[in-house]
Structure 1
């Protein structure tokens, strides 16, 4: 059979070759409104609540059996399945005469519409909501759970999109790669695939043309999918990839190029538990402590003492190492209940990050007080603190002043193109940069990073994004100040080499991604990285940039 090539966006590198297995379809949503007699409504409510709790309990059980990020993802989905908001809305509809199936559909679809309007990460949660809706309806109808079929042999798992319950419960022994028609570079599918160490391609628009059981070769770097490839060639590529994976599994750090140039590789964490896990890895410290993730369910602002206790756990996990604390990056896709979030037409471009202080007086000062207290309690002499969404030099000046009053080392995130364009002026005010490539790409390319239709635009390999990174790196070199990267781009082994060639001095990523980056860095010299970077920033598009990197650095 003649081979056919399809193209998506590669988000986790590597090769895989196996038969295609499609996820099980969702149940057909109710089209008839129906009506429940008043006397039967209590029983209908009970039937609905039992189905919803059954689905939630399955998520909880899977969370307890999972590890790492999968536990967090499944736990969050279980909480969403038990969310009082949608359960209350559905129950009210049933008491008004709706069937349980219709009430479930209407309630969750209403929340999906709200989340889509919010955009960003909240919009991505619509995949979770649809999955919960489909599972509850399947339970009500007595149908099998939709989603991933039981895995008994090696497969390439294909889907329209994958919900957390699907990705978080996969067995990499059998699932050799993930491919979705929707999704983007920062979706949970990519994050889980990276944790599992399997290739992943998203936004493959024509994936629905691939039949169940077809032999498929997945190239997670280029995003190319080959249907019915030459078997010998496919097996050769997979064997070479497996040899590399064995090398990754045995790597223990520290990270350095082939000519001995040390590269500081750090971990992204969200709490003390994640920091303790990272401390057992080759991570040399924490390059991004996402403080807002500690407070996504807090109804009232934690006191300075309470915050200090939380931050202190992360400092304690790395007592003699660099820990970079990011102040609240709340708003837009990560609203925190205790903050005043105004209704906005475009929240991604609104009051978020450091701007939260404009509508919540004192919130930044109190957080800085807590960080300073945590540092003092744990004997940290020079704690690094950075602010997100800084767009003007005046903002950087004001933030730096507040940090220095508390003996904190001030830095800023480079997420807004304005900050990269005026990098020299910003570095005159602060001590370091950390580049958030997810948001920098989104704002540079004017493309929502959660939109699967725009996945090509939100690829950090876009030459325009790399040029902005180069501007920040060059400014750091001139000023003799460190410039790190803490977005998902740092976890891409080939892109990591390009980044250090652009002047980046540290790379921060998910703990599980560190060994693959470390191995790749050890295969190239610093001069190779610099020469490749200079050519890659001149590329025409992200596809050409990736191909150049594979040619020059693989």
Structure 2
């Protein structure tokens, strides 16, 4: 067998025949229109409207991150600036095909020049443009193949619209040559529980119908496997399936040390799946879904009903709600519509809410009213807290509204380094490893060109996590992690070894993390964490932790 290496998502394993993603449609020729501007305008408008409607229909059939990404794509398709660019080219005599192709390409270049979140969205334009061109040509849009039997999908990367609606009865596993552990493809694969290896550079050499073993646990794709290897992979897959269908138990280490396993949720409708998978509560409820598609802030009553629905689903359990995290990748016209050269370092999170405090007060009012009507243990936290003063401000305001437990998200190094001081005022801390990694490594977490830096395994990030863990232990304040790092089964053990008491993740990841924790004692977790901390870079930290996890502890003399 030969092996292709990448980054595994989860702990699953799958085998099957390869089927490659279809290549993109060729670019149209720049030839003059033969039917006139009016006809071309109608063709372009109808095709774009059809694509936007299709993306919205797809969004309605899914939840969580997939829904948010698809809704964002639909909004991009209908962007008035793009429409003006298409119109300009049609008036100049171009066909609808060329006008769409050239306008989208120009818009893409502009977004790439801006960088950051908008730069990453440039890739979404390619998918939208391809869908519009396919409509204009009357051919199927490039997308996931359907060979009529289960298969392993191989692609350069997947568009969000394709990942969100993968038929899991047909797609056994996913291999991409591009992307990293925090790419949209990886996040959606983790959320849907798809066996995946991303960033597998050599996968472009795989041929249709070639049998492979996709091992997410080791981050490898094995080609030309023999019968024994296929049998071992099938046995592992069966064991995982049996474990996944077994009644879930509370999270704990092998020695019984409890580790609360919580769910990251984006809508109240996501609660049922989390409960079914054994979530012991909610470690991150994102409230942005109420705000992102609105031109003005939702009413207190609308917010209250959404929060009440969520809290009712977790009666008697902890539910951590993050107040509105707007700005950077989530700008809102009624909150932060001013242009910023670098919005990731601008008026976002709590900073934006303080600038429009009425929105924060209305949100806290709705949360307090929902709390009074339900039996869940409601905790509230502020995003993007940087200073002690911000901590004092938010916790005092939360208590003004009668909210008993108020905390902060640790997403920037300043907050982590001052954790001992912030936690004298806050009731708890929750570490958002996605942003903490971004700001520690000075690498935009949504920018593909620096994806290699965006790895929560980096010892610099782990040291900051340890700093917060120590502060929490010293002050008797709970510290959790709610970033993507918590969904990595081995990294979850490291985080516990660094002093983290609760882990919150996409519900589909709960089973793998639960099993991983159960294999190690508290002493093991500390030993594995120390091995990772002693490394020089992310890859070495992961390798050191893997080695330590597979080696028995050395008894003290």
Match of 1:371 in 2: 367
Deviating more after overlay: 299-308 vs 384-393 = 299-308
CA RMSD of aligned residues (A): 2.7
Tell me which of 399, 408, 414 is aligned to 2:394. 399
Tell me which of 7, 10, 19 is aligned to 1:9. 7
Contact 2:386-2:412 at 8 Å conserved across structures: yes
Contact 1:13-1:200 at 8 Å conserved across structures: no
Match of 2:32 in 1: 35
Runs of 4+, deviation exceeding 6 Å: none
**Alignment partners' CA distance in 1, 2:63 and 2:329:** 25
TM-score after normalising by structure 1: 0.90
**Alignment partners' CA distance in 2, 1:235 and 1:78:** 44
Q: In structure 2, do the counterparts of structure 1 residues 276 and 337 end up closer, same or farther at CA, with 3 Å as the change threshold?
A: farther
Deviations 1:472-515 (A, max 9, x none): 11111111110010001111122112211211111111122212
**Alignment partners' CA distance in 2, 1:229 and 1:443:** 42
Contact 2:487-2:510 at 8 Å conserved across structures: yes
Secondary structure of 1:455's counterpart equals helix
What is the 5 A alignment of 1:270-349? 270-349=266-345
What is the 5 A alignment of 1:111-190? 111-116=107-112, 119-190=115-186
Secondary structure of 1:308's counterpart equals helix
Give yes or no for the alignment of 1:52 onto 2:77. no
**Alignment partners' CA distance in 2, 1:308 and 1:61:** 27
**Alignment partners' CA distance in 1, 2:230 and 2:461:** 33
Q: In structure 2, do the counterparts of structure 1 residues 481 and 358 end up closer, same or farther at CA, with 3 Å as the change threshold?
A: closer
Q: CA deviation at 1:146?
A: 0.8
Structure 2 gaps of 5+ residues are: 551-557
Q: In structure 2, do the counterparts of structure 1 residues 278 and 54 end up closer, same or farther at CA, with 3 Å as the change threshold?
A: same
Tell me which of 403, 411, 418 is aligned to 1:415. 411
Secondary structure of 1:456's counterpart equals helix
Deviations 1:177-209 (A, max 9, x none): 212222232222112322342322223344434
Give yes or no for the alignment of 1:352 onto 2:348. yes
Contact 1:494-1:520 at 8 Å conserved across structures: yes
Match of 2:82 in 1: 86
Give yes or no for the alignment of 1:475 onto 2:449. no
Contact 1:119-1:333 at 8 Å conserved across structures: no
Number of residue pairs aligned between Structure 1 and Structure 2: 549
Tell me which of 435, 441, 446 is aligned to 1:439. 435
**Alignment partners' CA distance in 2, 1:364 and 1:60:** 29
Contact 2:263-2:281 at 8 Å conserved across structures: yes
**Alignment partners' CA distance in 1, 2:275 and 2:111:** 35
Q: In structure 2, do the counterparts of structure 1 residues 270 and 169 end up closer, same or farther at CA, with 3 Å as the change threshold?
A: closer
Deviations 1:374-410 (A, max 9, x none): 3234366x63111111111121122222122222222
Match of 1:198 in 2: 194
Q: CA deviation at 1:345?
A: 1.7
TM-score after normalising by structure 2: 0.90
Match of 1:383 in 2: 378
Q: In structure 2, do the counterparts of structure 1 residues 310 and 205 end up closer, same or farther at CA, with 3 Å as the change threshold?
A: same
Contact 2:120-2:448 at 8 Å conserved across structures: no
Tell me which of 265, 268, 291 is aligned to 1:269. 265
**Alignment partners' CA distance in 2, 1:60 and 1:347:** 27
Q: CA deviation at 1:438?
A: 0.4
**Alignment partners' CA distance in 2, 1:328 and 1:118:** 25
Tell me which of 441, 452, 457 is aligned to 1:461. 457
**Alignment partners' CA distance in 2, 1:299 and 1:67:** 22
Contact 2:531-2:545 at 8 Å conserved across structures: no
Match of 2:528 in 1: 532
Structure 1 gaps of 5+ residues are: none
Q: CA deviation at 1:469?
A: 0.8
Deviations 1:344-368 (A, max 9, x none): 2211111111111354354333332
**Alignment partners' CA distance in 1, 2:167 and 2:302:** 39
Tell me which of 96, 99, 102 is aligned to 2:98. 102
Secondary structure of 1:410's counterpart equals strand
**Alignment partners' CA distance in 1, 2:226 and 2:276:** 42
Q: CA deviation at 1:428?
A: 1.1
